[in-house]
Amino acid sequence: MAAYQLAQQALAADFAARWAEVLAAVEAREIAGSLTELEAEYTAAIRESAAASRVLSIAFYRLVRALETGRVIGGPDYRPGASLGSLWADFNKATGKRTGTGPHEQLAVDTRNPFPVEDLAHEALRAEEAFRHQVADRVAQHESEHAGQGSAELNDPELIAWEKEFLDSLKTGSTGAGGMLVQDGGRDAIHTALQDDPGAIGYFRKTDASPCYFCALMAGRGAIYKSKRTAAFGAHPHCHCQPIPIFSRRYQLPIENGRFSRMWRDFGGGSLADWRTYYSDKAPG
């Protein structure tokens, strides 16, 4: 589980590094004239890492299912004669690390494919919308504010500081939105598969080390069973939470989920804003 979450975070980090390199090559005053090229780089970087996130998630889902049920599920990249050993090998390949191994006896097969077909057009639209909101619209506003300031020397300290603040804000917003889409490549694959796989019971939310108040609240719900179908997993920019599939009633929640659940009970009720204040006061660190 930890290896899976770290690998998903690494994919988001790979995207962030690639996008940071692109932004570093463009000065603030040149961005407005480079939006077409920047959008192409942004969407391509998201697409590449999101595709890897999907492959990783399917390998993880298939491995966890086999470990808990003794049966392997069909779908993308399924290889006839799959064993726990081959499923571990697929997962290791997707993470880029040796995380585990298993026996090579052939597993029983459920031929159903619960994994959604990639909707490349929808994914491209989401990336385009993220770029528009986080880059193009911000650049337009920045250009308008710049025009209102009148002329200034390029080496003016205040102008340099203002441009740096703008670039930092642009990088933070666009990286967070893009990183969310990267990990959604895998999160969506798992969440949809859970609904269409007869062998799945539900999922729980695995947070990172320091989740926000919203993610802590969602994790505190514990297991989400298929009788409580939800429309979406509920991630946000800079979120590294992952849905962990459940195939057996013998599942065990992470310690953190129980702690968040107790915090919610101790909170005693109130608005989401009240919970946010309570959580910020009580959360460690």
Handedness of CA 195, 197, 202, 208 (dihedral sign): negative
- Report how far residue 25's alpha carbon sits from residue 44's, in angstroms, rounded to the nearest whole number: 17
Average pLDDT along the chain: 90
Which whole number is the average pLDDT over 176-199? 94
Mark 64-86 as b/e (b = at least 16 C-beta within 10 Å).
Answer: bbbebbeebbbbeebeeebbbeb
Percent of the chain with pLDDT over 70: 93
pLDDT at 153 over 70: no
- What pLDDT was estimated at residue 115? 94
- Alpha-carbon distances, residue 24 vs 39, 141, 167, 252 (angstroms): 15, 20, 9, 44
- What pLDDT was estimated at residue 150? 53
- What pLDDT was estimated at residue 147? 64
The DSSP bridge partners found for residue 224 are 203
> What residue segments make up the domains of the chain, in order of their start?
2-200, 201-285
Which whole number is the average pLDDT over 24-28? 84
* pTM: predicted TM-score of the whole model, two decimal places: 0.91
CA 274 remoteness from chain centre: 27
Which whole number is the average pLDDT over 78-100? 95
